[in-house]
Amino acid sequence: MKAWVVHELGGPDSMHFEDVDTGEPADGLVRINVRATGINFFDSLMVAGQYQSRPPLPFVPGAEISGEVVSAPPDSGFDAGEHVMALVDNTTLTRGAYAQVADAVPQSVTRIPKDMPFEDGAAFTLIYQTGWFGLHRRANLQAGETLLVHAGAGGVGSGAIQLGKAAGARVIATAGSDEKLDVCRKLGADHAINYKTHDFAEEVKSITGGRGADVIFDPIGGDVYDRSTKCIAFEGRIIVVGFTSGRIPSAALNHALIKNYSIVGLHWGLYARRAPELIAPAMQDLLKMYEEGRIKPYISKKLPLAEAPQGLTLVGGGKSTGKVVLVP
DSSP bridge pairs for 218:
240
Render 237-283 in DSSP notation, one character per residue: EEEE---TTS--PPP-HHHHHHHT-EEEE--HHHHHHH-GGGHHHHH
Q: How far is CA 256 from the centre of its chain?
A: 27
Q: Are 144 and 168 in contact (CB under 8 A)?
A: yes
pLDDT of residue 95: 82
Smallest Cα–Cα separation from 66: which of 321, 318, 302? 302
Q: Are 145 and 170 in contact (CB under 8 A)?
A: yes
Which portions of the chain are predicted below pLDDT 70? 90-94
pLDDT of residue 89: 84
Torsion of CA 41, 141, 223, 196, to 10 degrees: 80
Distance, CA of 197 to CA of 215 (rounded, Å): 23
Smallest Cα–Cα separation from 179: which of 21, 11, 322? 322
pLDDT of residue 94: 67
Quick: pLDDT tens for 250-297: 999 999 999 999 999 999 989 988 999 999 999 999 999 999 999 999
Domains of the chain: residue spans and CATH: 2-124+298-327 (3.90.180.10), 126-269 (3.40.50.720)
pLDDT of residue 92: 63
Q: Which residues contact 325 (CB under 8 A, 6 or more apart)?
A: 36, 37, 38, 39, 119, 122, 123, 299, 301, 302, 303
- Give counts: helices (H), strands (E), the chain: 12, 15
pLDDT of residue 105: 94
pLDDT of residue 272: 86
Quick: pLDDT tens for 23-47: 998 899 999 999 999 999 999 999 9
